[in-house]
Amino acid sequence: MKKKKIYPRQKPSYQALHAVVRTAGILQKAGNQFFRSYGLTQSQFNILMLLVHDFPEGCHQSSLSDHLLVNPADMTGLLKRMSKNGHVTRRVDPDDERAKIVMIAATGKNLFDQVEQRYYQEVENLMGFLTAKDSRGLVKMLQDMEEEVLSQNLVEK
C-alpha cells in the first residue's frame, strides 16, 4: 500500500501557525474597530496604558518601543501624532540630549479613563468564552511559542 504524501501545509505545525496568525488578524481588526470610535489606534491605547499603569512618572521613548515591540522610527511618528492630539508630552532627557522622555498629558489621561473600562468589557466580549484554566493554558502556550521563536534568533527582541 502506497503511503499518502503529507504536504507541508497539511502538517499540524503549519495548521497551528496559520490558526494563530489568522486569529491574531481577526483580533487586530476587532481592536481597530473598537478604538476607531475613540479616535485612537491600538498602539496609541497601549502607549496610554503603559504610561498610566507602568510609567506614571513618564519614561524614555525607547522603553515604550521595547515594551510594545515597535520600531523606534515608527514610535517617533506615533508619539508625534499623539503629542499633536494632546495625549502625551515629550521632552528631552536632561541627562541624555539624544533621548526623549514621554509623559501622559491630561487630555490623554482623560481619554484613557473614558476608554479603559469599556476596553476591558470588549476583552470579555471577545475572550469570555474561555474558562480561566483555558486562558492560563493559552497564555502559557503563547509564551512558550514566543520564547522558542526568540531563542532561534529569527527576529529581534
Per-residue pLDDT of the chain (157 residues; tens, 9 = 90+): 677 777 888 889 999 999 999 999 999 999 999 999 999 999 999 999 999 999 999 999 999 999 998 898 999 999 999 999 999 999 998 988 888 999 999 999 999 999 999 999 999 999 999 999 999 999 999 999 999 988 998 776 5
DSSP 3-state of 96: strand
Q: What is the pLDDT of residue 157?
A: 59
Q: What is the pLDDT of residue 7?
A: 81
Q: What is the pLDDT of residue 69?
A: 87
Q: What is the pLDDT of residue 150?
A: 87
Q: What is the pLDDT of residue 112?
A: 98
DSSP 3-state of 116: helix
In angstroms, the CA 30 to CA 123 distance is 10
Sheet holding 96-104, edge to edge: 59-60, 96-104, 88-93
Strands 59-60 and 88-93: unpaired
Within 8 A by CB and 6+ apart from 47, the residues are 64, 68, 78, 79, 82, 88, 102
Contact 124, 138 (CB under 8 A): no
